[in-house]
């Protein structure tokens, strides 16, 4: 049995999912999108069959406008399933029941999980689940997902509902007012007729009606499950289709028009609409399509219907809430209100946010640094053991070098990311789940907007100072594709931990003492300026829209469970490792080959050196020698390796000379500063490029973004070099 | 008329005083935006309270149908509300 799990954001849907499925989960990517959904199995000790549970993105409605909304809707429309669990928050039923009603209009195979009843009780809200169940005509099970309360009963109901033929309590689910019914009912009748005609036509080859009713796929009385009937009106409840047609749903209109009888129904919907809009022409679709004035009128009427339908739903909900919910006025403020008095305070909110983010990044940098060191040291140590073993077996020298400097170095490069990623994603999830992230977005939205970015992108941008890769993953909180793309395009200009490390070492070598601090500050200001400038320019040129409206819920604060933090963290880290390792390993092997061959040659005659000499003319413009150019090229694989590459190229350690010392001897501070600017901005590492492709979904954007990075870095470097040379 | 002592004022949500309960009168703006408002519970006739304003022209926090939402001032300009204030 396949069960879909839907609900508003912040209702504990994922907590419920985790509680039901435990560790039996896998992440799937929605075809053609970056939207992920998770599939889990409910195991029971009974002999009953396993339930497959699909956690769909949180959504407020099924209208197919927002990205997450569309994924959830498409699943409910076109994928096979046996029942839907609608999770509602018991403390805000007034809004939550809207989605529940939308789902009920689509299929009666619904079990409502009345979640967070404990929180509601604390707020003085009592919901009479039996009464609500009687009024909705589907089971309503009170649950506290975080404590596992009510889950057994929920699963039992799902099993019962999934296999049965369910008749909706009321055909229309919502008692729509008479004037709407006058339009809706003939339309639904026409659609039902179209569906029948369609079934009869299909019956020529197969007894479709019977096939549909007894099929194992989607809800039996929803018509044929996904795949059986490829299109047509008979796929969905006629009442639901009628409602959608009246609101001008283009996708459903297309779907209905596939069969001739459906075309008649679609025309009926259009003329109903035209009539209500006061257009008294006998119209075919062409007339409307051709005349913009008519089209505008019809559109306005669709919207009027939409508003009337929504209004009727909310009125129905008000009645349900009056009958099934008892509210005791609370004298004292809730915890959320008291916290928000500080955290969203017009003044104190900002220092509070700085403190929260500082703690978050301090934890991810400082705690992960020694762990990363252990991991890379461990890998190096293993590599040395492997080399000794191979030497003992008499393996040729190049093979030993391949294993140690190629394979083990590559594996080390992948794994050294893991501690940082793990801690970062856990903290990210904590801020997200606790309800704080929404507040932070609200606090900074005004500033972000002034450079064309969305408030929700702030955390991603700040976290890019840690590592660009998860920062790009963190842009997903934004619903609008352009907002996300823009954030991904500017993130590479922010120096990550690894780049900051290299910058710190070089700055210390060239600008000892207090001057070093000023130089670092100057570098960071340049980076911030480039981020702001690039963002404004992108908005003015290739992404000419304002950031999407900021319209977010500020959920009640709560402490997420360890399990709710651990599961998504694990998914994200695993996703990263499984995607990146191949690329990083090949890149490390290529780097190794370039420096190792031709066999026996000193490092300044290797293929890498020849490549460096090829690039030397470019470097000369800036005063960079071939070794610095090579470090730039190899830095693409992973910025962490820059220092060791430079070490090898400059022959550090050979006569006890340290790399900073050697660097300071080989160039002027002016050249070094230019190099630092170019190095800070030029291109993120390979992992970032791959993540960027994943987030943008397009190689074109990825390549364009990288080209801009390199272009900006080198031209800014050139300008700086000239300026510094003139004045300095 | 005078006996009721009530005046109904219609104004933009942006200009509502904090802590005053108002009723949503109408929504303007892009259809997709209005649709989003509707699914979040901001519909004509719904009761709405402005909880707080973020400083320097930042977003507004409002309470509607038992949930709290943040909305930019520019977007809140598209929502018309009415308050009956006693004179």
Q: Which of B10, B3, B19, B28 is nearest to B83 (CA)?
A: B10
Contact B39 A60 (CB under 8 A): yes
Residues ≥6 apart with Cβ < 8 Å to A514: none
Q: Give the least confident one: A263-267, A339-343, A406-410, B34-38.
A: A406-410
CA angle A574–A684–A467, rounded 5-degree value: 50
CB atoms within 10 A of CB A115: 29
Please check whether residue B49 touches A, CB under 8 A.
no
Which of B25, B38, B60 should one mutate to test binding to chain A, selecting the residue with the greatest count of A CBs within 10 A? B38
Q: How far apart are CA A634 and CA A641, in angstroms?
A: 8
pLDDT at site A312: 95
Tell me if A277 sits within 8 A of A301, measured CB to CB: yes
Report CA-CA distances (Å) from A640 to A414, A416, A443: 11, 10, 34
A36 forms beta bridges with A29
User: With an 8 Å Cβ cutoff, are B75 and A551 in contact?
Assistant: yes
Task: Choose between A534 and A511: higher pLDDT.
Answer: A534
pLDDT tens sequence across A277-316: 777 656 555 555 667 788 888 888 888 899 999 999 999 9
- Report pLDDT digits (tens) over A34-48: 567 789 988 766 656
In Å, how far is B12's CA from the nearest CA of chain A?
Answer: 17
**pLDDT computed for residue A443 by the predictor:** 92
Q: Which of A2-16, A200-214, A379-393, A624-638 shows the highest mean pLDDT?
A: A2-16
- pLDDT tens digits, B56-72: 889 999 999 988 999 99
Alpha-carbon A470 to chain mean position: 11
Tell me which chain A residue has its CA closest to the CA of residue B46: A314
* Residue position matching structure tokens 């029942």: A83
pLDDT of residue A288: 59
Which among B39, B57, B66 is the nearest to A446, CB-wise? B57
How close does chain B come to A115, measured CA to CA in Å? 16
User: Using the beta-carbon criterion (under 8 Å), do B33 and A553 form an inter-chain contact?
Assistant: no
Nearest to A346 among B39, B54, B66 (CB): B54
Residues of chain A found within 8 Å of residue B69, distances taken between Cβ atoms: 551-554
* Site from A64, A91, A95 to mutate, B interface, most B CB atoms within 10 angstroms: A95
Shortest Cα distance, chain B CAs vs residue A492, angstroms:
27
Q: A550–B45: do the CB atoms touch at under 8 Å?
A: no
Query: What is the token pair recorded at A408?
Result: 């083990």
- As annotated, the residues of chain A forming the CATH 3.40.50.300 domain(s) are 2-163
The region, left, alpha or beta by phi > 0 then psi within -120 to 50, assigned to residue A239 is alpha
Residues A526-576: tens digit of each pLDDT: 999 999 999 999 998 888 877 788 888 999 998 988 988 998 888 888 877
Q: Average pLDDT of A376-384?
A: 84
Alpha helices in A46-177 (DSSP H): 67-78, 93-106, 117-122, 129-136, 151-163
Determine whether the interchain pair A91/B66 forms a contact, defined as Cβ–Cβ distance below 8 Å. Answer: yes
Residues 2-41 of B with CB under 8 A from A: 31-41
Map residue A622 onto helix, strand or coil: helix
CATH number for the A2-163 domain, one of 2.60.120.10, 1.10.1240.10, 3.40.50.2300, 3.40.50.300? 3.40.50.300
Residue A243 has pLDDT above 90, yes or no: yes
Distance CA(A214)–CA(A223), nearest Å, equals: 10
Q: Which of A60, A299, A445 sits opposite B58 (nearest CB)?
A: A445
Pick from A82-96, A119-133, A289-303, A422-436: least confident? A289-303
**pLDDT at position A29:** 66
Which of the listed ranges A119-123, A153-157, A294-298 does the model predict with the highest average pLDDT? Answer: A153-157
Say yes or no for a CB contact (<8 Å) between A299 and B43: no
Closest alpha carbon within chain B to A341: B52
Give the minimum alpha-carbon distance from A445 to chain B in angstroms, rounded to a whole number.
7
The top-level CATH class assigned to B8-79 is mainly beta
Asked if A255 and A266 count as a contact pair (C-beta separation under 8 A), the reply is no
* Mean pLDDT of the region A413-426: 80
- Find chain A residues with C-beta within 8 A of B66's C-beta: 91-95
Task: Report pLDDT digits (tens) over A66-76.
Answer: 777 888 998 99
Which chain B residues contact residue A63 at CB under 8 A? 35, 39
pLDDT at A216: 37
User: Does the CA dihedral A72-A77-A78-A79 come out positive or negative?
Assistant: positive
pLDDT digits (tens, 9 = 90+) for A197-230: 777 777 665 544 444 433 333 443 444 343 344 4
Task: Tokens 């229309």: give the residue.
Answer: A172
CB of A17 within 8 A of CB of A38? yes
Give the chain A residue nearest B69 (alpha carbons).
A553
Q: What does the pLDDT look like over A134-151, one tens digit per residue?
A: 999 999 999 999 888 999
Whether residues B66 and A93 touch (CB distance < 8 A) is answered with: yes
Q: Using a CB-CB distance cutoff of 8 angstroms, which residues of chain B are in contact with residue A93?
A: 66
Bind-site residues of A for GTP: 7-14, 32-36, 55-58, 115-118
Indicate yes or no: CB of A551 within 8 angstroms of CB of B67. no
Q: To which H or E segment does residue A302 belong?
A: helix A292-324
Identify all chain B residues contacting A441, using CB atoms and an 8 Å cutoff: 70
pLDDT digits (tens, 9 = 90+) for A323-354: 999 988 876 788 899 999 999 999 999 999 99
Across the A:B interface, residue pairs with CB atoms under 8 Å apart total: 107
Does residue A7 register a pLDDT over 50? yes
* Other Cβ atoms closer than 10 A to A253: 19
**Distance from C-alpha of A295 to C-alpha of A297, rounded to nearest angstrom:** 5
Question: Could you tell me the two tokens for A581?
Answer: 């390792």
pLDDT, residue A505, reads 78
pLDDT at A605 over 70: yes
* CA–CA dist A245, A191 (Å, integer): 10
Do B17 and B50 contact (CB within 8 A), yes or no? yes
Q: Give the pLDDT band (50/70/90) at residue B3.
A: very low
Neighboring chain A residues of B63 at a CB cutoff of 8 Å = none
Q: Which of A95, A99, A303 sits opposite B65 (nearest CB)?
A: A95
**Chain B residues within 8 A of A88 when measuring between CB atoms:** none
Q: Which residues contact B14 (CB under 8 A, 6 or more apart)?
A: B60, B73, B76, B77
């Amino acid at each position: 049995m396949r069960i879909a799990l839907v609900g508003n954001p912040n209702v504990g849907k994922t907590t419920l999912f985790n509680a039901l499925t435990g560790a039996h989960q896998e992440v799937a990517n929605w075809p053609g999108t970056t939207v992920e959904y998770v599939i889990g199995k409910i195991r029971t000790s009974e002999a009953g069959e396993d339930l497959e549970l699909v956690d769909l993105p949180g959504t407020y409605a099924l209208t197919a406008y927002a990205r997450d909304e569309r994924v959830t809707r498409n699943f409910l429309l076109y994928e096979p399933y046996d029942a839907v669990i609608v999770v509602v928050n018991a403390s805000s039923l007034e809004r939550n029941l809207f989605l529940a009603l939308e789902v009920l209009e689509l299929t009666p195979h619904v079990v409502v999980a009345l979640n967070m009843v404990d929180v509601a009780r604390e707020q003085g809200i009592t919901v009479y689940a039996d009464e609500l169940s009687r009024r909705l005509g589907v089971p309503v099970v009170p649950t506290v997902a975080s404590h596992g309360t009510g889950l057994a009963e929920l699963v039992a109901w799902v099993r019962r509902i999934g296999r049965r033929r369910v008749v909706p309590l009321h055909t229309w689910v919502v008692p729509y007012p008479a004037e709407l019914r006058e339009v809706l009912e003939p339309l639904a009748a026409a659609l039902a007729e179209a569906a029948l005609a369609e079934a009869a036509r299909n019956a020529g080859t197969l007894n479709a009606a019977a096939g549909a009713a007894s099929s194992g796929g989607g809800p039996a009385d929803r018509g044929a499950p996904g795949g059986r009937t490829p299109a047509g009106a008979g796929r969905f409840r006629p009442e639901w289709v009628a409602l959608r047609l009246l609101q001008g749903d283009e996708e459903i209109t297309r779907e209905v028009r596939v069969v001739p009888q459906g075309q008649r129904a679609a025309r009926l919907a259009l003329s109903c609409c035209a009539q209500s809009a006061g257009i008294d022409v006998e119209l075919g679709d062409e007339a409307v399509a051709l005349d913009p004035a008519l089209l505008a009128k019809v559109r306005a009427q669709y919207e009027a219907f939409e508003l009337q339908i929504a209004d009727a739903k909310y009125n129905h909900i008000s009645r349900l809430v009056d009958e099934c919910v008892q509210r005791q006025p609370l004298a004292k403020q809730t915890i959320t209100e008291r916290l928000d008095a500080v955290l969203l305070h017009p003044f104190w909110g900002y220092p509070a946010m700085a403190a929260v983010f500082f703690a978050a990044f301090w934890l991810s940098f400082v705690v992960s640094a020694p762990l990363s060191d252990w991991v890379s040291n461990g890998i190096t140590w293993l590599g040395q053991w492997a080399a000794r073993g191979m030497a003992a077996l008499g393996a040729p020298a190049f093979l030993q070098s391949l294993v140690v400097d190629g394979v083990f170095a590559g594996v080390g490069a992948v794994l050294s990311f893991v501690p940082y990623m793990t801690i970062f994603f856990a903290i990210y999830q904590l801020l997200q789940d606790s309800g704080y992230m929404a507040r932070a977005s609200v606090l900074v939205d005004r500033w972000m907007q002034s450079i064309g970015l969305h408030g929700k992108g702030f955390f991603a941008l700040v976290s890019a100072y840690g590592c660009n890769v998860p920062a790009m993953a963190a842009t997903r909180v934004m619903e609008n594709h352009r907002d996300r793309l823009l954030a991904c395009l500017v993130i590479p200009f922010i120096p990550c931990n690894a780049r900051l490390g290299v910058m710190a070492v070089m700055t210390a070598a060239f600008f000892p003492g207090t001057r070093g601090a000023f130089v670092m500050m100057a570098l960071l200001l340049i980076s911030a300026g480039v981020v702001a400038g690039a963002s404004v320019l992108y908005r003015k040129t290739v992404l000419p829209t304002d950031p999407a409206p900021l319209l977010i819920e500020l959920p009640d604060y709560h402490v997420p469970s360890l399990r709710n933090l651990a599961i998504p963290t694990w998914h994200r880290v695993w996703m990263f490792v499984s995607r990146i390792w191949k690329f990083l390993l090949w890149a490390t092997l290529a780097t190794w080959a370039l420096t190792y061959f031709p066999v026996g040659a000193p490092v300044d005659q290797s293929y890498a050196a020849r490549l460096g000499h090829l690039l030397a003319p470019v470097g000369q413009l800036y005063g960079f020698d071939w070794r610095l150019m090579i470090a730039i090229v190899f830095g693409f694989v992973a910025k962490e390796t820059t220092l060791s590459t430079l070490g090898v190229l400059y022959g550090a350690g050979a006569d006890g000379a340290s790399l900073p010392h050697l660097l300071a001897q080989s160039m002027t501070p002016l050249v070094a500063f230019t190099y630092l600017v170019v190095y800070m901005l030029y291109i993120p590492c390979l992992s970032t490029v791959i993540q960027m492709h994943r987030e943008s979904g397009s190689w074109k954007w990825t390549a364009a973004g990288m080209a801009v990075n390199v272009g900006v870095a080198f031209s800014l470097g050139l300008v700086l070099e000239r300026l510094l040379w003139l004045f300095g | 008329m005078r006996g009721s002592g009530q005046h109904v004022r219609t104004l933009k949500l942006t200009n509502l005083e904090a802590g005053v309960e108002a009723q949503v009168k109408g929504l303007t703006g892009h259809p997709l935006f209005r649709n989003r408002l509707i699914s979040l519970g901001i519909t004509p006739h719904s009761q709405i309270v402005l909880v707080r304003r973020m400083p320097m022209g930042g977003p507004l926090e409002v309470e509607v149908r038992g949930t709290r939402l943040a909305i930019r001032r520019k977007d809140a300009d598209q929502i018309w509300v009415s308050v009956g204030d006693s004179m």
